[in-house]
Structure 1
Amino acid sequence: MSVAAASHACAPHMPQTVPAFRKRPRLHTERLEVMGVPRRREAVSEARRTVRRLLLRWGVGAEEAFEAELFAAELLANALGHALPGPGGEIGLQIAKGRRGVLVEVEDGGSEESSLFASFAAGAVDDGESEHGRGLLLVEELGRGRWGWRRLGNGHRSVWAYVVPAESRGAR
């Protein structure tokens, strides 16, 4: 399923309030990949394919790899469109595999506190008609609340999503 199809499929069910300050899961990391993604639209597609190949090579199930790939694409696209450049002018992407799941984390240079993230921090987003925020609403819906963001000590921002195996999720 494409990101557009997934967005359309869950759009009617998207929440209008989103808790923002969730704790990032502690991960007993078994595998880790850190990469810089150039600030170009086509680089998001390249990174998405890289995430999928990497996770399948690490033995992650196809469904979980697909979900992680979607998260990476949405978080990278959000950073590309709304954030300042991160370290080295790139967007940082970290993929970590632990015993209980996969963590997808994107680091960017942050943005003004008046940004969409401030709306999420306040627990409210717009009426759903705006183009801004749809990617994060998609992450919320697909991630079933397993995502969040934090300010880093260097002023940058980290946005993460956590993918757990399908059998750990219970009924869909």
Structure 2
Amino acid sequence: MKKTPLLVGLAGAVVLLASGWFAYSTLSTPAGPTHAFTLYDPEDPREVAGTADDVFHGEVVRHSGRRTVAGIPSELYEVEVDRTFKGHLRGTVTVTLSTGSPVLASGTSYVFTTAAWGTPDDGHAVLADVQPSVTTSDTARGVSEHWQWAVAHQVDVMGENP
């Protein structure tokens, strides 16, 4: 019995198995951090304010879980709205923040720039590439003035009126 066809078949099976494993591991595992494509400059508070549905100051009540919204794994936070710079949010709202972003601490105050998901029950998503700004009693006035100015001078990158 000739061993050549058996060895060729075995070698072919090994190549198929190795290439299948390589394709699976390459396509199923993210290569690294992902980046969102934004039309606004996340470093320009006027463009961020112009893009956001809501800009508000609030205190994180608690981390309330995780979920995937529109294919984006997100952390959920219950936030008590203290002051609104843009929009009409009141009371406690659910804010979603992409998984992998810095964790928001319960009892800590932040300024949030968010866009509403499809329905009020879906909550409000922090804008891509914009982290909530921490505020303390020492910085609250300056942060408030900063965002009041940004909202008053917002830039609409889509060319629509705010």
Report the structure, 1 or 2, having the larger helix content: 1
- The TM-score with structure 1 as length reference comes to 0.26
Higher RCO (CA < 8 A, seq sep 6+): 1
Structure label with greater radius of gyration = 2
> Going by fraction, where is strand more abundant, 1 or 2?
2
TM-score (norm 2): 0.27
